């Protein structure tokens, strides 16, 4: 005789616990200076970052990012608390000698893993550990319309070994739609040729729905984005956009660019998976290497 014991209430118990604790989401932006990294971050999280002290100031003269800089914002939507941590990095590849210019970035990512591991190994390991591990690295590609730069390939290789990398075509308003499609195609081929392993990764645990969602994302990557901190008026409506020599770009119009797709991907469809994948793949790889080294 089977009887109902009621453990199915575990889902609401988990939910309650998770909601109480909230979510920590850490995003890093990487790419050459002037590609619109700071602007895009402000555009994605605009309504939340305005007037906050962490907001990247739009003061052109003083805004160039000179060192790795992070700021945290707590966002609450419908009772769900999200602690968003943005890590802005200085443009790499701007020097005459670019040898090892990516090292501070890779070191920063590894340092977060290492500090998490240290806390995990201490006596009070059941206490809640503040997660500073980077869950997503947005990689900015210059909109040349030709191909990736050799330095980009080197940096992408290094990054994909330690973090979920999501490439974007920066300032895509500087390309026509046809140029953008051709460029995207070219970048995909180059990534494949150089065996650059981008997020999302295929997994045995994926059901049909997961694989379909991942396929549609893989199709879109690299997202062709446009950022803007300014609003413009289109047909009497105020929208976030840019005015250029061809006309007006509405950042949130999916016929104009893929900003909306990137934002949905980051904040709606893949937030939890980016966090989980970081813990289960990137952090685990780091952890097992470290623990093996300790044994030897
Ligand atoms: P960062 O150095 O990568 O952080 O770049 P910034 O965000 O500071 O932007 C550099 C300049 O590019 C600024 O003048 C921005 O207004 C401009 N910019 C940012 N995003 C875009 C974009 O999508 N399209 C165009 N045309 N210009 C942009
Ligand atoms: Mg910047």
d(Cα 222, Cα 129) in Å, to the nearest integer? Answer: 33
Give residue 49 CA to ligand 1 midpoint distance, Å: 17
Count of beta carbons in the 10 Å neighbourhood of residue 196: 19
% the chain with pLDDT above 90 = 51
Task: Give me the chain's average pLDDT, please.
Answer: 87
Report yes or no: 134 and 166 within 8 Å, Cβ to Cβ: no
d(Cα 173, Cα 26) in Å, to the nearest integer? Answer: 27
Residue 206 vs residues 195, 197, 200, 242: alpha-carbon distances, Å: 22, 18, 11, 39
Peptide bond into 211 cis (omega under 30): no
pLDDT digits (tens, 9 = 90+) for 140-157: 999 999 999 999 999 999
Q: What is the pLDDT, as a whole number, of residue 2?
A: 72
Kindly state the average pLDDT of the residues 11-26.
Answer: 84
The answer, yes or no, to whether residue 270 has pLDDT greater than 90, is yes
Stated as kind and residue range, the H or E segment containing 160 is helix 150-160
Q: What is the pLDDT, as a whole number, of residue 47?
A: 55
Report yes or no: 25 and 73 within 8 Å, Cβ to Cβ: no
Q: What confidence category does residue 276 fall into, taking pLDDT thresholds of 50, 70 and 90?
A: very high
Lowest-pLDDT choice from 47-56, 125-134, 141-150, 282-291:
47-56
The answer, yes or no, to whether residue 180 has pLDDT greater than 60, is yes
Q: What is the pLDDT, as a whole number, of residue 125?
A: 58
Kindly state the average pLDDT of the residues 159-186.
Answer: 96
Closest CA to 134 of 247, 26, 3: 26
The answer, yes or no, to whether residue 129 has pLDDT greater than 80, is yes
163 pocket-lining for ligand 1 (C-beta < 6 Å): no
**Whether the complex's predicted ipTM surpasses the cut of 0.90:** yes
Kindly state the average pLDDT of the residues 107-124.
Answer: 90
Q: Which residues surround ligand 2, an ion (CB under 5 A)?
A: 37-38, 65
Q: Name the more confident of 76 and 246.
A: 76
Lowest-pLDDT choice from 62-71, 128-137, 230-239, 243-252:
62-71
Report yes or no: 41 and 35 within 8 Å, Cβ to Cβ: no
196 pocket-lining for ligand 1 (C-beta < 6 Å): no
Q: What is the pLDDT, as a whole number, of residue 64?
A: 56
Helix (H, G, I), strand (E, B) or coil at 148: coil
Q: To 10 degrees, what angle do helices 103-121 and 150-160 make?
A: 0
To test the pocket of ligand 1, the residue of 27, 34, 230 to mutate (highest count of ligand atoms within 8 Å of its CB) is 34
Count of beta carbons in the 10 Å neighbourhood of residue 217: 19
Q: What confidence category does residue 87 fall into, taking pLDDT thresholds of 50, 70 and 90?
A: very high
């Amino acid at each position: 005789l089977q009887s109902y014991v009621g453990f199915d209430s575990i889902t609401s118990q988990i939910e309650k616990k998770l909601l109480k604790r909230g979510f920590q989401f850490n995003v890093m932006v990487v790419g050459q200076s002037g590609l619109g990294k700071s602007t895009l971050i402000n555009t994605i999280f605009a309504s939340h970052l305005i007037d906050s002290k962490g907001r990247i100031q739009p003061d052109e003269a003083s805004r160039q990012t000179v060192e790795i800089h992070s700021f945290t914002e707590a966002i609450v939507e419908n009772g769900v608390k999200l602690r968003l941590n943005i890590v802005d990095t200085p443009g790499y590849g701007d020097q005459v000698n670019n040898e090892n210019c990516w090292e501070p970035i890779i070191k920063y990512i590894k340092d977060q893993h290492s500090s998490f591991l240290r806390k995990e190994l201490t006596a009070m390991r059941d206490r809640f550990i503040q997660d500073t591990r980077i869950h997503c690295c947005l990689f900015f590609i210059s909109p040349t319309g030709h191909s990736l730069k050799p330095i980009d390939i080197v940096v992408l290789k290094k990054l994909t070994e330690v973090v979920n990398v999501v490439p974007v075509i920066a300032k895509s308003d500087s390309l026509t739609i046809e140029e953008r499609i051709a460029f995207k195609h070219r970048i995909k081929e180059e990534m494949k040729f150089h065996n650059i392993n981008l997020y999302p990764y295929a997994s045995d645990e994926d059901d049909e729905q997961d694989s379909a969602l991942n396929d549609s994302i893989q199709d879109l990557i690299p997202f062709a984005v446009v950022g803007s901190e300014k609003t413009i008026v289109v047909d009497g409506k105020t929208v976030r956009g840019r005015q250029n020599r061809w006309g007006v770009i509405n950042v949130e119009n999916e016929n104009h660019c893929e900003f909306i797709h990137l934002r949905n991907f980051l904040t709606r469809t893949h937030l939890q998976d980016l966090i989980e994948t970081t813990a289960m793949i990137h952090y685990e790889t780091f952890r097992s290497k470290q623990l093996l080294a300790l044994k030897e």
